[in-house]
Amino acid sequence: MRRVTLEQVFTHPITQKYLERSGVAHAIAVAEYAYLFSKRYEVNPDHAVKAALLHDIGHYTWYRDGEWDYDLYKENDIHAIKGASRAHKLLIRIGEDRHAAKEIAVAILLHTDSYLPKGELKLKPLQQVVALADEADEENGGNHHYKKIEDHVALERIQALDKQIDATLTEKASQSENI
Ligand SMILES: [Fe+2]
């Protein structure tokens, strides 16, 4: 039913490279929250979880004299824009449906408004799910980016999410057939 699994996205070298930077443990925790919230908001769990997993892949490391400079980051960060673009390119490359790739990329673009001009942004439910999932795993001082996870545990949690997504999509498909 799905063209691309979460495991395919997660194990791709491009994903691994960027998640190394922004935190694998954080990405997986946000993906798990997004799965839970996707039920509450009745959005496609596959899109929500993929966007959540990839939401921070646009991060750049802001170092000054060997240390992370938070002010430099605040001033210059565009990680949501870069992440949306990287995620879209990656998803298309591994065969994702074009519509799904766009939905996922836009949800990544809007997962934070810290870089946008002040004003009211009216988020669609999918975008809201990704933003809420990110907030749910946030820790003070950006500590969520430094949480550690063992490789085999990370992969097991990704595979468990794939199973849950498949089960939810199968259930939804059979419900719509019965109407
Ligand atoms: Fe995040």
Q: What is the pLDDT of residue 178?
A: 79
CA of 53 to the centre of ligand 1 (A): 9
CA of 174 to the centre of ligand 1 (A): 34
Contact 169, 46 (CB under 8 A): yes
Number of domains the chain contains: 1
Q: What is the pTM of this model?
A: 0.94
CA of 2 to the centre of ligand 1 (A): 25
Give residue-wise pLDDT tens across range 30-88.
999 999 999 999 999 999 999 999 999 999 877 788 887 888 888 888 999 999 999 99
Q: What is the pLDDT of residue 74?
A: 83
CA of 175 to the centre of ligand 1 (A): 34
CA of 27 to the centre of ligand 1 (A): 7
CA of 32 to the centre of ligand 1 (A): 13
**Which residues span the domain enclosing 44?**
6-178
Average pLDDT, the chain: 93
**Long-range contacts (CB closer than 8 Å, 24 or more residues apart) made by 157-161:** 157/28, 157/32, 158/6, 158/7, 158/10, 158/28, 158/31, 158/53, 159/7, 161/6, 161/31, 161/32, 161/35, 161/49
Instruction: Evaluate whether residue 1 is within a structural domain.
Output: no
Say if residue 162's pLDDT is above 70: yes
Q: At what angle do helices 24-40 and 151-178 cross, to 10 degrees?
A: 20
Over residues 158-165, the mean pLDDT reads 98
Instruction: Evaluate whether residue 133 is within a structural domain.
Output: yes
CA of 16 to the centre of ligand 1 (A): 16
d(CA 161, CA 151): 16
CA of 89 to the centre of ligand 1 (A): 20
Does residue 148 or residue 117 have the better pLDDT? Answer: 148
Q: What is the pLDDT of residue 114?
A: 84
Which residues keep their CB under 5 angstroms from ion ligand 1?
Answer: 56, 134
Give residue-wise pLDDT tens across range 84-142.
999 999 999 999 999 999 999 999 999 998 888 888 889 999 999 999 999 999 998 78
CA of 85 to the centre of ligand 1 (A): 16
What's the CATH number where 33 sits? 1.10.3210
